[in-house]
Structure 1
């Protein structure tokens, strides 16, 4: 029969990973079936409304619309986030920033257990980095007093980040503020942060991937500065000294070929202990330094 899970998976031109993600989403939405039904109930006939919805999602995915936008969710560092076209889709390489922040938190907590640790997430989008850090803190046995401020210039992004924080029960640790980088951050936060993390727009304006890949569906302002790919990083680095505590850590994600340029920007602003971290593909993806 052509209206079963098995038949749909067999006939679709989509790769099996995408197809199963979309079908699993529809099975949950329309029938309340768990993802395991993709195997356990793959011969049962599906209702017509689900089949219509499947054809719509299949067609959109064939045209390039990312799976995360079609399902409205994306997993990231152990949490599930709501995402939409207003925000960048969280990617595995960005988890490096979460891991760095967590290591720094543990280091500080071990030295000064009662200290309130404050983290700034610049360009927070869906809140992925800030909320992943807070989630790990919440489930750990260490009694870490954590406060995170996530900022983004997009009103829609901030609204979504707040929605994610509420859904994850992390409102008590994370606050979101609409701000163009540091512009709207209150003066009380000067030299207040132990860690600054950011995944800013860093793709150059003429990069062909902006036009011929799934990236064309993501918000352009979250991907590129419409310049050399370094202007947002310059803004972040040039003012970070005003917001970091002495010895504070800054970590910035960047393009695979931008590590040397980012290190030079940090060195120019008198940061020290500058180092790079590679992603799973072996590309230098994050540069970190201390005030």
Structure 2
């Protein structure tokens, strides 16, 4: 068997991006080598235990297992997150929710610099959205008082999110609680949140994409509601006014063809300033709106 990095990359069945990601993971775990070793040490013999691990990962990836589940890590909005089969793999389009929350934080802070900004992340999964927001706040040169609550009905997801918060040193900014949407959120949080963000299950039960690519391996309950793809979003919107402050912002990720229905749903529940935002592929991917503020 080929026993150098160059030989493994030359002979692998995988595309080079996946192969390099898996090799980088193995080189770090077995030898403590950085990613640059893919070039600087590509002719050095590799130990047998690494080669055996490579064969296993290569075979699993060929069968379709996502790279993120094989390495146990995924980058998202400038942070590295632990991921496993209990949670969705964070995707670039979901970074839109982070950016919207950050923009709203800056707006609030500019007007009320001493206010603690409170954010609710519904269906937090690995904690990606909540932790990316917290990370940006922690490295900002502008001191912002921030408190984030992330909830998820899956206890395995909450455990992982807490691990990620600890690894990133963000425990002081983010709390994770098990809850089926709003069900177990303590009453003290009612009408306290400035922002609600969510990437809920929104794929229709008969969508063929559920049986393709990485989606085959991700938790079904985090992908689809086993219905029309909108039941979870209805639940989120139906009760959002109980938890948002007057004038508070809600932003929800959704399918490329769901923006119009969600806009109507938000309007019917008294929200205003409703707008949809496109992702990098040009699809309407996130819809945002504001709760009415009777003081204006």
Partner of 2:230: 230
1:217 paired to 2:217: yes
Provide the C-alpha distance between the structure 2 equivalents of 1:162 and 1:109, rounded to a whole number of angstroms: 27
Provide the C-alpha distance between the structure 2 equivalents of 1:236 and 1:25, rounded to a whole number of angstroms: 38
Shift of 1:209: 1.2
Q: What do the CA deviations read for 1:36-92 (whole angstroms, capped 9, x no partner)?
A: 000000011111110110000000001100000000000000000000000000000
Provide the C-alpha distance between the structure 2 equivalents of 1:118 and 1:242, rounded to a whole number of angstroms: 14
Partner of 2:253: 253
Q: What do the CA deviations read for 1:140-171 (whole angstroms, capped 9, x no partner)?
A: 01110000000000000000000000000000
Counterpart secondary structure, 1:280: coil
Q: Report 1:175-254 matches (<5 A).
A: 175-254=175-254
Counterpart secondary structure, 2:242: coil
Partner of 2:294: none
After the TM superposition, list the runs of 4 or more consecutive aligned residues in structure 1 that deviate by more than 4 angstroms: none
* Uncovered stretches (5+) of structure 2, i.e. residues with no partner: 292-296
Shift of 1:213: 2.0
Q: Report 1:35-184 matches (<5 A).
A: 35-184=35-184
Q: What do the CA deviations read for 1:243-270 (whole angstroms, capped 9, x no partner)?
A: 0000000000000111111111101101
TM-score by length of 1: 0.99
Provide the C-alpha distance between the structure 2 equivalents of 1:78 and 1:109, rounded to a whole number of angstroms: 22
1:271 paired to 2:271: yes
Counterpart secondary structure, 2:263: helix
Provide the C-alpha distance between the structure 1 equivalents of 2:40 and 2:209, rounded to a whole number of angstroms: 39
Provide the C-alpha distance between the structure 2 equivalents of 1:243 and 1:122, rounded to a whole number of angstroms: 12
Counterpart secondary structure, 2:64: coil
CA RMSD of aligned residues (A): 0.7
Deviates more, 1:257-266 or 1:91-100: 257-266
TM-score by length of 2: 0.98
1:3 paired to 2:6: no
Counterpart secondary structure, 2:38: helix
* Uncovered stretches (5+) of structure 1, i.e. residues with no partner: none
Provide the C-alpha distance between the structure 2 equivalents of 1:212 and 1:84, rounded to a whole number of angstroms: 18
Provide the C-alpha distance between the structure 2 equivalents of 1:290 and 1:124, rounded to a whole number of angstroms: 21
1:33 paired to 2:33: yes
Counterpart secondary structure, 1:118: strand
User: Across the two proteins, how many residue pairs are aligned to each other?
Assistant: 291
Provide the C-alpha distance between the structure 1 equivalents of 2:129 and 2:101, rounded to a whole number of angstroms: 9
Partner of 2:15: 15
